[in-house]
Amino acid sequence: QKEVEQDPGPLSVPEGAIVSLNCTYSNSAFQYFMWYRQYSRKGPELLMYTYSSGNKEDGRFTAQVDKSSKYISLFIRDSQPSDSATYLCAPSTNAGGTSYGKLTFGQGTILTVHP
Amino acid sequence: EADIYQTPRYLVIGTGKKITLECSQTMGHDKMYWYQQDPGMELHLIHYSYGVNSTEKGDLSSESTVSRIRTEHFPLTLESARPSHTSQYLCASTSGYGYTFGSGTRLTVV
């Protein structure tokens, strides 16, 4: 079983829709939860970062963590065509990864927002 | 603007050639990483480094090698390229708060 499982998608939604992207994980030691966005032919970029359970909002993006069920979500409100990308979850035991900085990534969800 | 630079962005090379993919960062990060990513697929860690003169193999076995002689520079070398090495190679670094990735090198071995 993989340490991080992510809904593979792909997801295709109309502009303005609310998007929900989800991951589950198995390591109860994960405390930090990151979401990366990767545009085509680019490297991933850090989108959101949360610590422990709860919600964090940043503009149209909300990251939600439920440690009791080992479930993490990213919500995108009023989705835009510019949100079309691959989204990767990356839970971790510390902010920079494991003791040597390793991050475990989900396999990514491809999102397309069409006008 | 990215503070981690990878060159070349695209490389098409013949089987058996030796290649070096360059990665440099200007942020003074100690920890650096190389990931391999096939189109639409997961990121796989192939090498990492804690600092100068420190290199370790990652989770995915790779025939490539790396070196870390300077903090800012973490090149990856393939002594004899094969078609199975065709992939995207991503370099990243961290100061302890998430990763900063380069734009990647897309390698095609023909």
Q: Which residue of B has its CA nearest to A44?
A: B101
- What mean pLDDT is predicted for residues B10-15? 97
Q: Give residue B64's pLDDT.
A: 94
- What mean pLDDT is predicted for residues B32-45? 89
On chain A, the residues whose CB falls within 8 A of the CB of B42 are: 105-108
Strands (E), chain A: 4-6, 11-14, 19-25, 32-38, 45-51, 54-58, 61-66, 71-76, 85-92, 109-114
Q: Give residue B88's pLDDT.
A: 95
Amino acid of residue B37: Q
Q: Give residue B49's pLDDT.
A: 93
Cβ–Cβ below 8 Å for A95 and B41? no
Q: Give residue B2's pLDDT.
A: 56
Cβ–Cβ below 8 Å for B106 and A105? no
Q: Give residue B60's pLDDT.
A: 85
Q: Give residue B82's pLDDT.
A: 96
Query: Residues B70, B52: contact at Cβ < 8 Å?
Result: yes
Cβ–Cβ below 8 Å for A100 and B48? yes
Q: Give residue A101's pLDDT.
A: 61
> How do the pLDDT tens digits run along chain A, 115 residues long?
778 999 878 999 999 999 999 999 998 988 889 999 999 888 999 999 888 888 999 999 999 999 999 999 999 999 999 999 999 999 887 655 555 567 888 889 999 999 9
Cβ–Cβ below 8 Å for B106 and A41? yes
Asked if the model's pLDDT at residue B57 lies above 60, the reply is: yes
On chain A, the residues whose CB falls within 8 A of the CB of B6 are: 43
Residues of A with CB under 8 A from a CB of B: 34, 36, 41-46, 49, 86, 88, 94-97, 100-103, 105-108, 110
Q: Give residue A111's pLDDT.
A: 96
Q: How close, in Å, is residue B98 to chain A by CA atoms?
A: 5
Query: Residues A91, A67: contact at Cβ < 8 Å?
Result: no
The four Cα atoms A66, A60, A12, A92 give a dihedral, to 10 degrees, of: -40
Q: B40 vs A99, which has greater pLDDT?
A: B40
Q: Give residue A89's pLDDT.
A: 94
